[in-house]
């Protein structure tokens, strides 16, 4: 089974379209209890997420949700969803998680001391505006269970709502994660 962990936009028609392209049973986990929020901008989504949810809370909700499963899980996360996955990845109680794929989890930079208990692939963009991505990669590359890929796309390349959406990259990675 696959679990897709959303970014700050939460459940959207675009995310449901992505999920529809994946094979097998797929569940969406988002910060807004599956409500369509209809944000009109990334700034609006960011402000709402920070005021009403927050990364630590999102990660704890995700941990409880994952623990409710007993079947093998593959987890796929985007942006803050990827960061939430990373934040809980050192939990030894997640033996049923086979692996995770985390796209542009920029908040990972605040938790470089984590050593994941399951295989995790971190897919980073070509650069980030707020920090030096190469320094983060250097801090993580030797950790056990961690595989890192840096791509020539920008943060948000998998989200059709993002200004950085890249249709070709999206098609390429949908095929890889399907």
Asked if 157 contacts 170 with a C-beta cutoff of 8 angstroms, the reply is yes
d(CA 141, CA 134): 10
- Domain residues of the chain, as ranges? 2-177
Tell me: pLDDT of 8 over 90. yes
Q: Provide φ and ψ at 66, rounded to 5°.
A: -65, -40
Q: What integer best gives the mean pLDDT of the chain?
A: 96
The 10s digit of each residue's pLDDT in 123-155 is 999 999 999 999 999 999 999 999 999 999 999
d(C-alpha 24, C-alpha 45), whole Å: 29
pTM of this prediction?
Answer: 0.96
Nearest of 147, 66, 53, 59 to residue 111 by alpha carbon: 59
Instruction: Assign domain 2-177 one CATH number from 3.40.50.1820, 3.30.1050.10, 3.40.50.800, 1.10.1040.50.
Output: 3.40.50.1820
Contacts of 101 (CB under 8 A, 6+ apart): 74, 75, 76, 77, 120, 121, 123, 177
**Strand 26-29, strand 2-5: pairing:** parallel
């Amino acid at each position: 089974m696959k679990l897709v962990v959303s970014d700050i936009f939460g459940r959207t028609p675009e995310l449901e379209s992505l999920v529809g392209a994946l094979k097998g049973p797929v569940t969406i986990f988002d910060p807004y209890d599956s409500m369509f929020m209809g944000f009109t901008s990334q700034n609006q989504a960011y402000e709402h997420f920070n005021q009403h949810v927050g990364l630590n809370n999102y990660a704890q909700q995700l941990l409880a949700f994952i623990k409710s499963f007993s079947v093998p899980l593959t987890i796929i996360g985007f942006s803050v969803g990827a960061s939430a996955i990373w934040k809980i990845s050192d939990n030894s109680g997640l033996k049923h998680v086979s692996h995770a794929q985390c796209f542009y989890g920029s908040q990972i930079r605040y938790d470089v001391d984590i050593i994941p208990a399951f295989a995790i692939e971190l897919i980073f963009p070509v650069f980030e505006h707020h920090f030096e991505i190469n320094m983060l990669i250097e801090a993580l590359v030797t950790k056990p269970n961690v595989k890192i890929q840096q791509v020539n796309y920008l943060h948000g390349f998998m989200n059709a709502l993002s200004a950085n959406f890249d249709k070709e990259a999206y098609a390429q990675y949908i095929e890889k994660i399907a």
